[in-house]
Amino acid sequence: MKHVGIIGAGIIGACIARELALAGCRVSVFEAHEPASGASSRSMGWINASFVTRVDYYQMRIAAIQAHRRIDEQFNGALETQWTGSLNWEARDDKLDELVDELGQFGHPVKLVARDELRVLEPELADLPPKALLMEGEGTVEAAHVTQVMLRAAQDAGAVVLAGVPVSAIERGEKAGHVVISPAGRIHVDDVVIAAGVMTGELAEKCGQTLPMKNEPGVLIETNALPFRLQHTIWSPDVHFKQLPDGRAICGNLFSGALGGDAVEDVALRMLERMKQRLPNAAAGLKIEKVRHGVRPMPVDSYPAIGRLDNGAYVCVMHSGVTLGPLVGELVASEIATGADIDMLVPFRPGRFNE
């Protein structure tokens, strides 16, 4: 039985672990802290294929939405995926027509809705724009929850999760495979996957290869429960938010809370004020329950890095890992279990940074 070591128990490592364990591999997951303690617990969890300009990447994201639909069905709703779609007028009004054309060139399902229709779709929303984009196929999840469910499923299929075990190095095995070095000792594995989020670049460096990253911080707030239900994820120019199944909301601002040099607390309070303006009937009691301050793992060209380093270790790192996690889990496990090259992954190999 092939023994695969996976470094990192975020959504990416968890999805790969589950698929490999189901494919009959022996799986050991090494996690420096607790599962889902990195970016996967700080995410907006928006599942989407919108605003993508490269066709191969667009197709990957559409396939990723389908993968989410598959696991949502397999887990019978336990992942709590919400297929609400979204209303988006983040771009200026005069750019929305252009955006519909841009998105439409790949056949993306998007339509423009006018203010009257918006009022019907989201009656609690104030300060409505003249028009907005309606993207019906999109969803949201809580990535930390998905990570835990995937890890439990991996464990049920035989995977072992070593939490509190930071990997310090990966060496090549004497004859084949790799040796994973951590406080758990020197463990020989037939194959190794580095799914360490923002730390993936550093581990790749230890394997002798540069994987340039431009990891970016972001802040979101969790609020108390809203006194009504929103029907969509809302993306306005100065704030965006989604509602959780229990009524609470997660809110960010431009590019999910980019800090722009401001203190985290100031950014959080600004988001709360903007959300109150958009939802006046919730404003009186609306409070911040928790601030999510995270860092997005992101290769320097913004696209996923998925595939083998020159020393044979496999890396898997990306922004939009919540959207892409379940698909990538399937594809990476298939490459590792069968040795085949999957066409969809070929444009995203880490070797592109060697050129």
Ligand X SMILES: Cc1cc2nc3c(=O)[nH]c(=O)nc-3n(C[C@H](O)[C@H](O)[C@H](O)COP(=O)(O)OP(=O)(O)OC[C@H]3O[C@@H](n4cnc5c(N)ncnc54)[C@H](O)[C@@H]3O)c2cc1C
Which residues contribute to the site for ligand X (CB under 6 A)?
A: 7-13, 30-33, 37-40, 42-46, 143, 166-167, 195-197, 199, 203, 218, 220, 256-257, 294-297, 317-323
Structure tokens at 341: 């090259």
Minimum Å gap between C-beta 130 and ligand X is 26
Minimum Å gap between C-beta 305 and ligand X is 11
Give 68 or 278: the residue with its C-beta nearer to ligand X. Answer: 68
Minimum Å gap between C-beta 17 and ligand X is 11
Give 81 or 256: the residue with its C-beta nearer to ligand X. Answer: 256
Give 11 or 282: the residue with its C-beta nearer to ligand X. Answer: 11
Minimum Å gap between C-beta 147 and ligand X is 7
Structure tokens at 8: 């990192």
Minimum Å gap between C-beta 123 and ligand X is 25
Give 70 or 115: the residue with its C-beta nearer to ligand X. Answer: 70
Minimum Å gap between C-beta 43 and ligand X is 3
Give 42 or 108: the residue with its C-beta nearer to ligand X. Answer: 42
3-class SS letters over the chain: CCEEEEECCCHHHHHHHHHHHHCCCEEEEEECCCCCCCHHHCCCCEECCCCCCCHHHHHHHHHHHHHHHHHHHHCCCCCCCECCCEEECCCCHHHHHHHHHHHHCCCCCCEEEEHHHHHHHCCCCCCCCCEEEEECCCEECCHHHHHHHHHHHHHHCCCEEEECCCCCEEEECCCCCEEEEECCEEEEECEEEECCHHHHHHHHHHCCCCCCECCEEEEEEEECCCCCCCCCEEECCCCEEEECCCCCEEEECHHHHCCCCCCHHHHHHHHHHHHHHHCHHHHCCCCEEEEEEEEECCECCCCCEEEECCCCCEEEECCCHHHHHHHHHHHHHHHHHHCCCCHHHHHHCHHHHHC
Give 16 or 128: the residue with its C-beta nearer to ligand X. Answer: 16
Give 128 or 319: the residue with its C-beta nearer to ligand X. Answer: 319
Minimum Å gap between C-beta 143 and ligand X is 5
